[in-house]
Structure 1
């Protein structure tokens, strides 16, 4: 082997090693059971970051319970200073922190970016006597406690949507019969098993059942209809409710500004990739990407707005 050939092999090896060293590795915590919106988001991030070359290795771990606050507490306590640790959260977690009077909050992590928005969907089993959103509204108006509604954790977006809908139809929002589940899969089973009258969650969690005809979509909570989906918004149906669930990603507490900037750059590269745009379209997620100081200000405003709503529906005291 000539010296020139040996030098070329060594140089190629060093270049390869350098490239691998520059490729990040991440562990993303989905603070909920498999099958729900946070799990879907974390696993979409895992796939896209690897396929788009943003990260060399991405792992997802699930830590369910209490609207994400159990996972959040573990993340804060166990991942401080770790720039490879990420956690998915969002509107549900904001409400759960307030409802559960959680000892940890989003102030204890490093917010990176808001990623997506999604319509909340109000569904019933296919055999339900409630054919329209007006049918469900009439039943809730007559006796809100008799209409069991399945959704995610107490105080989250699903619970807030149920309370706002009850208020909009003229029912007492503090009297609704909301049954909280820690993961989307559990809520789905309760709805399909006719254990509840209705369900509320992100449209993406119900989409396959709606398309298969095992669930009936009555309405969505956003201002605009979902493209290609034949269901009214609550506003169209005459109920003054406007709500979009959103999801975010945060990094560990105690990381440096430089590490936060690198993580933000990686997330920006992910959301700008063709693979991410295809993921958004496939899941009917809206691109609501927002990072930096603008996101932190928006997050603080969301926390205050959510506190006001939860007070109104009786989940948080004055």
Structure 2
């Protein structure tokens, strides 16, 4: 076969998703991060991109940040603009599910293609170092006196930190509808607000706050995990007597309109990336728990998470 005929054949097979993974190892992948730079999704997307290249699963990886509405704006663009593209991925997670429940956008996650869950982590609540409040009990006492005087800062409405604040309010006899939650489009904005004292309490994954906690600019006061987080001197909510436990997981989806073979090929590339040295270093650096789940198991997991999160939000008065 002549070289030009070979290239045409290879291109046709690649378009159909029929080339073996090794033959498509030099893919030029695009990752949509449906949040502004600096947050958990951004850190996850860029760590995955590095791992894909480290594992020789991609020759190049480009990124696009599109923040807002708990990822719904980025999701809408991804679904509409990347349809049928077998080289596109979008970062998503528990925060997106919460935002879709509260926001009811025109595009839903079911229109995209599940690929894999990647990591799991829990939220940490922090105070700026200059805060007159010192503990979560101090925060709760102030919230009981005047719910609106405590500004909770974190990700989009419906994020796991927002749900945790509503759960805490309900636990302590405060009307969850009265909590003063300030949503930010990205982790960078939330961090600036916390450090500047523009919010009372900040919530996010440990990885986003770690450097500020270690430098003494933020004081950790509680985590939403079932047990204490390694390397973090902060009690669990349950230790403090509040029945608040909620995890934050992250994963990736592909666009709609790809073939089963293309979906499997993308899944194989992502799984290969999670076995790379770069990914192991990202897990260690960010304090992420590896939680890889693919195929129907991942689809079923997302369905269960939707139902569970909706039930928690209804119970906490966040949605009707």
Question: Given the alignment, which residue of 298, 304, 307 partners 1:304?
Answer: 307
Partner of residue 174 from structure 2, selected from 167, 171, 184: 171
1:202-261 alpha-carbon deviations (Å, 9 max, x no partner): 111111111010110001101121112111111111110111111110001010000000
5+ residue gaps, structure 2:
1-18
Query: Closer, same or farther in 2 for the Cα pair 1:257/1:238, shift >3 Å?
Result: same
Q: Does 1:101 align with 2:139?
A: no
Q: Which moved more, 1:128-137 or 1:111-120?
A: 128-137
Secondary structure, counterpart of 1:74 in structure 2? helix
Report the equivalent of 1:148: 151
Name the CA distance, whole Å, in 2 between partners of 1:86 and 1:207. Answer: 27
Rg bigger for which structure? 1
Question: Using a 3 Å threshold, how does the CA distance of structure 1 residues 22 and 41 change in structure 2: closer, same or farther?
Answer: closer
How many pairs were matched up?
A: 300
Equivalences for residues 1-318 of structure 1 within 5 A: 22-317=25-320
Gaps of 5+ in 1: 1-17
Summarize deviations over 1:11-61 as a string: whole Å, max 9, x none: xxxxxxx97754222100000100011111110011111122121111111
Output one character per residue of 1:121-140: Cα deviation in whole Å (capped at 9) or x when no partner. 10011011211111112112
CA distance in 2, matches of 1:43, 1:139: 39
Alignment TM-score, normalising by the size of structure 1:
0.91
Contact kept, 8 Å, 1:161 with 1:200, in 2: the verdict is: no
